[in-house]
Chain A
Amino acid sequence: MQPRLTTALLALILWLLASTSSHALETVYLQPEVFIEQSFAGEPEQKVLWLTKDAKASIKQVLGRDYRGMRIRYWQSGARTAWILEEIGKVKPITTGFVIENNQMLAMQVLIYRESHGWEVRYPFFTDQFKGLELEANNRLNKKIDGISGATLSVNALTRLSKLALHLHQQALVQ
Chain B
Amino acid sequence: MAWVGTLAAQEAPQELPSQAEMWQMIQAQQQQIEALSAMVRANQTAAATTRTELATAKTAAASAKAEASTALAQLKATQQQLEATSIAVEEFGDSAFNLPAWYTNTSIGGYGELHANFNNGADNEIDFHRFVLFFNHEFNDWITLYSELELEHGVAGEDQNGEIELEQAFIRMDWTEQFSTDVGVFLIPVGILNETHEPNTFYGVERNNVEKYILPGTWWEGGIKGSYRTETGFAFDGSITSGLNAEDGYIRGGRQKVSEAINDEAALAGRVKYTGIAGLEIAASVLYQDDLDQSKGGKDYSGLLSTAHIQYTTGGFSLRALYARWDLDGDIDSDAESQYGYYIEPSYRWTLSERYGDIGIYARFSDYEYFKFKDKKGDLKENKVYEFGVNYWPTDNVVFKLDYQDTSDADQFQDDGIDSVVNLGVGYQF
Contacts and interface: CB of A to CB of B under 8 A. Distances in A.
Interface of A: 1-2, 5-6, 9, 12-13, 16-17, 20-21, 23-29, 64, 68-71, 90-92, 114, 116-117, 119-120, 123-126, 128-129, 138-140, 144-150, 152-153, 156
27 contacts: A1-B265, A2-B268, A5-B240, A9-B226, A9-B268, A12-B226, A16-B179, A24-B142, A24-B174, A25-B176, A25-B177, A29-B177, A91-B109, A92-B136, A114-B138, A116-B136, A125-B278, A144-B316, A147-B279, A148-B279, A149-B192, A149-B196, A149-B275, A149-B311, A150-B196, A152-B196, A152-B200
Interface stretch (B1-9, B227-235, B329-337, B409-417): B227-235
B200 to A, nearest CB: 7
B93 A68 contact: yes
B214 interface: no
B266 A6 contact: yes
Interface of B: 86, 89-90, 93, 107-109, 134, 136, 138, 141-142, 144, 146, 172, 174-179, 181, 192, 195-196, 198, 200-201, 226, 228-229, 231-233, 235, 238, 240, 265-266, 268, 275-279, 281, 290, 311, 313-316, 354, 395-397, 429
B86 A70 contact: yes
Contacts of B233: 120, 123, 125
Contacts of B311: 149
A159 to B, nearest CB: 9
A13 B107 contact: no
Given A9-B240, A16-B226, A91-B108, A25 B174 contact: yes
A174 B96 CA distance: 35
Nearest to A90: B109
Contacts of A6: 240, 266
Contacts of B313: 146-147
Contact of A91 (B136, B178, B232): B136
Given A91-B108, A144-B315, A156-B396, A71 B141 contact: no
A148 B278 CA distance: 7
A70 B201 contact: no
B90 A70 contact: yes
Given A17-B179, A70-B89, A120 B275 contact: yes
Contacts of B429: 153
B146 A138 contact: no
Nearest to A27: B174
Given A25-B175, A116-B172, A150-B196, A2 B266 contact: yes
A154 B93 CA distance: 25
Contacts of B229: 119
A139 B179 CA distance: 39
A138 B356 CA distance: 14
Contacts of B396: 152-153, 156
A29 B425 CA distance: 40
A60 to B, nearest CB: 12
Nearest to A145: B278
Q: Which of A6, A13, A26, A116 has the most CB of B within 10 A?
A: A116
A69 B177 CA distance: 31
7 closest Cβ contacts across the A-B interface? A146-B279, A91-B109, A20-B176, A91-B107, A1-B266, A26-B141, A146-B278
Contact of A25 (B107, B142, B276, B397): B142
Contacts of B178: 20
A145 B12 CA distance: 111
A117 B196 contact: yes
A164 B406 CA distance: 45
Nearest to A160: B396
Q: Which of B93, B109, B315 has the most CB of A within 10 A?
A: B109
A17 B124 CA distance: 54
Contacts of A119: 229, 235
Nearest to B142: A24
A20 B227 CA distance: 13
A119 B235 CA distance: 10
A145 B316 CA distance: 10
Contact of A148 (B176, B281, B395): B281
A175 to B, nearest CB: 16
A120 B136 CA distance: 20
Given A12-B226, A13-B238, A148 B275 contact: yes
Contact of B181 (A5, A13, A123, A125): A13
B309 to A, nearest CB: 9
Nearest to A114: B138
B175 A24 contact: yes
Contacts of B195: 117, 150
